[in-house]
Chain A
Amino acid sequence: MTDLSPRTGPETPSPAAGTKRKWLPMIVIAGVLVAGGVIVTQFLRSAVDYYCNVDEVGTRSGCDVNRRLRVQGVVQRGTVRSAGSDTDFVIAFNGAEMAVSYDGEPGGIFKECIPVVVHGHFDTASDTFLGDRVEVKHSDEYVAVNDERLAESDALADACETGTP
């Protein structure tokens, strides 16, 4: 805004308060543009195709076994074992299974018969997926802890058997 404050003399410099005030939003806008650029870059790089399903590893474009992958599948019943600092389990999807060796103890609500996304790479020598990060997917179902019905348990068991989350 044009400075219209009364002049007190010809030698007096014009107050720069208004100019100073405008720097803050300009800095914020610059920060927003940088942040937007980073987000879009990340978005394009990883968000669109967040994971490969177990049955797609080695068959689908972008799911090659010789690169770092994020693989999604359902943790199979009776396969979770702790071996030292590692956790071993099997994930399945659409009838395909994959052995996973995770370096650590999975967090979140990790358990059998729940879909997970494992980050890591495939070791062809041991035919095992070596994971360094496990994320637990949650479904869009919300069931009270004391309201579990037999049918739901059966459905969960069926999903676990078929590897369909």
Chain B
Amino acid sequence: MTPPSPTRATEAPAEQVDGGARSGTGTFATRMFGIATLVTMGWLVAFGLGFSPADRDQEEAVRIMYVHVPTVWLAYLAFTVTAACSGLYLFTKKHSLGFDRFAGASAEIGVVFMALSLATGMLWGKLTWGVYWQWDARLTTTALLFVSYVGYLAVRGLGGSHDQRAKRSAIIGLLAVLEIPLVHWSVRLWRSLHQEATVLNTNGDVDMDGLMLFSLFVGVVAFTLLYVWLLLHRSRVMAMEDQLDDQGLDRAIDARRAEATS
């Protein structure tokens, strides 16, 4: 009688790893998302650098906003998806590793977007404030959020079984997301060098030129599509990595079993 494998089978189809019908991570859906991302990124370049006007005070530096703001919003979204998938992993009966992989992939993309937002924010700060960085409430809480998710990714890399990885990272994913409201409201709670929100504010007034607002909207759409495209590919790559890991373990057990019987 063959004993059951000690590792839980991952949900990825075998042909993804073994070179079957589908050897990559691309599907019709991801290709459509990829094309849509490229098209909207082209629009973003056209509107961000061409059609939208310069600002009365910031002049050309305002164009940094079309990358800075969408990347930070998408980082918030990515970390929220991480928390939601972490909750689904922890609190559903199946404890599906698919949720864990979505959580991890989303956090990775969120960290990249957050790094991009910090870098563009520093450039904008130098041009507008006159300094790259200052430890005010918004910048400090944002740095803390960024470091927290770098820590989340490090914890995912600690090793152990897939379930161990999923459980410990899910707990961190659920806790770290609580920092997002603190980051967003820091400019209202405390005196900050960073200005208050222009769009996602409580009074509903958007003090922004129409074409600037539209360019910002294009940026949000473009980066959202990029996020979805990256999330689908990265989560599938993670499924393949998990499956390879499981296969390696199974092979090691088989070899040890053969060694014992020989």
Contacts and interface: CB of A to CB of B under 8 A. Distances in A.
Contacts of A16: none
A46 B135 contact: yes
Contacts of A106: 130
A42 B135 contact: yes
Contact of A140 (B62, B137, B197, B209): B197
A68 B127 CA distance: 26
Nearest to B190: A48
B27 interface: no
A145 interface: yes
Contacts of A36: 144, 147-148, 151
B158 interface: yes
B198 A47 contact: no
B247 interface: no
Interface size class of A (residues with CB under 8 A): 35 or more
B8 interface: no
Interface in B182-220: 190-193, 195-198, 201, 207-209, 211-212
Given A39-B147, A43-B135, A29 B161 contact: no
A51 interface: yes
Contacts of A141: 198, 207-208
Contacts of A125: none
A22 B157 CA distance: 7
20 contacts: A25-B159, A28-B150, A32-B150, A32-B151, A32-B154, A43-B135, A43-B137, A47-B141, A50-B192, A51-B193, A108-B127, A133-B131, A134-B130, A138-B58, A140-B198, A141-B207, A142-B58, A144-B211, A145-B55, A147-B209
A143 interface: yes
A50 B154 contact: no
Nearest to B249: A4
A135 B129 contact: yes
A137 B147 contact: no
A6 B151 contact: no
Nearest to A53: B191
A139 interface: yes
Nearest to A3: B252
Interface of B: 53-59, 62, 65, 126-131, 134-137, 139-141, 143-144, 147-148, 150-151, 153-161, 190-193, 195-198, 201, 207-209, 211-212, 249, 252-253, 255-256, 258-259
Interface stretch (A82-90, A93-101, A109-117): A109-117
A5 interface: yes
B224 to A, nearest CB: 21
A149 to B, nearest CB: 11
Interface in A32-67: 32-33, 35-36, 39-40, 42-43, 45-51
Nearest to B213: A142
A145 B135 CA distance: 30
Contact of A109 (B57, B136, B141, B144): B57
B151 A29 contact: yes
A113 B193 CA distance: 17
A50 B55 contact: no
Interface of A: 1, 4-7, 18, 21-22, 24-26, 28-29, 32-33, 35-36, 39-40, 42-43, 45-51, 72, 106-110, 114, 117, 133-148
B140 A42 contact: yes
Contact of B193 (A137, A142, A144, A148): A137
A1 B135 contact: no
A18 B159 contact: yes
A4 B256 contact: yes
A116 to B, nearest CB: 9
Given A4-B252, A36-B148, A145-B59, A47 B135 contact: yes
A94 B198 CA distance: 24
Contacts of B128: 108-109, 136, 138
Given A43-B141, A114-B57, A4 B253 contact: yes
